[in-house]
A and B are shown apart, each in its own frame.
Chain A
Amino acid sequence: MGVRNDELIIALPKGKLGEDALDIFQKIGLPAWEIQEDSRKLSYCFNDQGIKYLICRPTDIPTYVEYGAADIGIVGKDTLEESRADVFEICDLGYGYCKFVVAIPKDVLEKIEKKHGAFNLKYFTNTRVATKFPRITKNFFNSKGIQVEVLKLHGNVELAPAVGLSEMIVDLVSTGRTLKENNLVAVEEISEITARLIANRVSYRIKNSWIQEIVTKCNQIVDLRGKQ
Chain B
Amino acid sequence: MQGANNKLQIPDGFKDFLPEEAYQKRLLEEKWIKLFKSWSYKEIVSSSFEFYDTLTMNVGVNTLSLLKTIDRTGHILALRPDMTSPIARLVATRMKDQLFPQRLFYLANVFRYENEIQKGRHREFFQAGIELIGPKGPQVDGEIIALAVEALKTAGLQDFQFGLGHVGLTKGLLKQLGHEKGMENEIKEALSHKNLVKLSSLLKLSRQSLDKEIFNLLTTQGDLDTMVQKLKGIVQEPGFAADVKEMEALVRTLKAYGVEDKVFMDLSILRDFNYYTGIVFEGYSENLGYPVCGGGRYDDLLGTFGFNCPATGFAIGIERVLEALNKEGSPQVFQVDYFIYGSDETKAIEEARRLRQKGYTVELAMHNLSQGEAEQYALKKGIKNILLLK
Contact = CB atoms under 8 A, between A and B. Distances in A.
B161 A201 contact: no
B192 to A, nearest CB: 10
A88 B289 CA distance: 12
Contact of A204 (B159, B194, B198, B288): B194
B286 A3 contact: yes
Given A2-B327, A88-B194, A91-B197, A205 B266 contact: yes
B260 to A, nearest CB: 16
A4 B286 contact: yes
For this complex, into which size category does the number of interface residues on chain A fall?
20 to 34
Contacts of B221: 205, 208
A171 interface: no
A2 B323 CA distance: 11
Nearest to B193: A88
B122 to A, nearest CB: 15
Nearest to A84: B116
A92 interface: yes
Interface string B282-309: 0011111111000000000000000000
Contact of B289 (A69, A91, A196): A69
A202 interface: yes
Contacts of B194: 88-90, 199, 201, 204
A1 interface: yes
A67 interface: yes
A68 interface: yes
Interface in B87-121: 118-119
13 contacts: A2-B287, A3-B287, A3-B289, A5-B286, A67-B119, A67-B289, A90-B194, A90-B196, A196-B197, A201-B289, A202-B290, A205-B264, A212-B220
Interface of B: 118-119, 159, 161, 163, 193-198, 220-221, 264, 266, 284-291, 327
Interface of A: 1-5, 66-69, 86, 88-92, 196, 199-206, 208, 212, 215
